[in-house]
Amino acid sequence: MKTATALAIRHVAFEDLGSFAPVLRQRGFIVGYREAGLDDLEARDLMDADLVIVLGGPVGVYETAHYPFLKHELRLIAHRIKSNRPVLGICLGAQLMARTLGARVYKGRRKELSWGALSLSKEGRASPLAALARTEVLHWHGDTFDLPDGATLLASNENYANQAFAFGDTALALQFHVEVTAGGFEHWLIGHAVEIADARGVDVAMLRRQARRKAPRLEQRGPRVLSDWLDHVGL
């Protein structure tokens, strides 16, 4: 019996699989990372993996002139969607998926660096995101995207109408983070120190207090989202 493979594209070391990693290993996946800017992101193992997860990062989809690896990610995602192979995009990964599907990705009217609730659409309440009802997630982005043609909107909030969408049966895009853990969040505060310092009305102490209250519940509910989605795509 073939062992399933899950590969995650990582852009910065501290934005990793977090609470998703144990779920994948418990389900028997061989889990690995491919590093953006270092590894070949159009390699055969990524094209053919049972599951690809494109993680978050601090660059913009439209910055391909500065970060050429983004072009390779776009082609990888396009191949996965065309081949009906499961692909999950988180934050930057969601923006890359939106762009792959022809939607506009652009700077939003405000940065979201905070914990907050989602408003699930009717379709969202019937999706794996139902596990996030009454659960606040981590928002950490300045860019946003239009909903791609043919995509199903799953979640919004008061700041951005498009927070999550599904495309077909095997592609899921999450603008927010559900994989972050209480223990791992401290690395976010260090790695994003400059961004936090430049953000109006945001400070490290506030974010840490929020995480202490909200991360434990998310750490329980986030893995359920992944597990239910894996069931949905037959993995």
What average pLDDT does the chain have?
Answer: 96
Domains in the chain (CATH in brackets) are 5-233 (3.40.50.880)
pTM of the model as a whole: 0.97
Give 156's strand partners: 119
Query: Residue 200: what pLDDT?
Result: 84
pLDDT grade for 3, boundaries at 50, 70 and 90: confident
Residue 108 exposed, middle or buried by CB count within 10 Å (0-12, 13-18, 19+): middle
3-state secondary structure of 166: strand
Catalytic residue among 15, 73, 179, 219: 179
* 15 noted as active-site residue: no
Catalytic residue among 72, 141, 177, 192: 177
- Over residues 24-47, the pLDDT tens digits come to 999 999 999 999 999 999 999 999
- Over residues 134-156, the pLDDT tens digits come to 999 999 999 999 999 999 999 99
Q: H/E element holding 186?
A: helix 185-191
Pairing relationship of beta strands 87-90 and 171-174 according to DSSP bridges: parallel
pLDDT grade for 1, boundaries at 50, 70 and 90: low
Q: H/E element holding 108?
A: strand 105-116
Catalytic residue among 91, 139, 192, 219: 91
- Over residues 116-140, the pLDDT tens digits come to 999 999 999 999 999 999 999 999 9
* 179 noted as active-site residue: yes
CA–CA gap between residue 108 and residue 113 (Å, rounded): 13
- Residue 2: is its pLDDT beyond 90? no
- Residue 22: is its pLDDT beyond 80? yes
* 91 noted as active-site residue: yes
Reference 53, options 82, 28, 24; nearest CA is 24
Query: Residue 53: what pLDDT?
Result: 98
- Over residues 191-225, the pLDDT tens digits come to 999 999 988 889 899 999 999 999 999 999 999 99
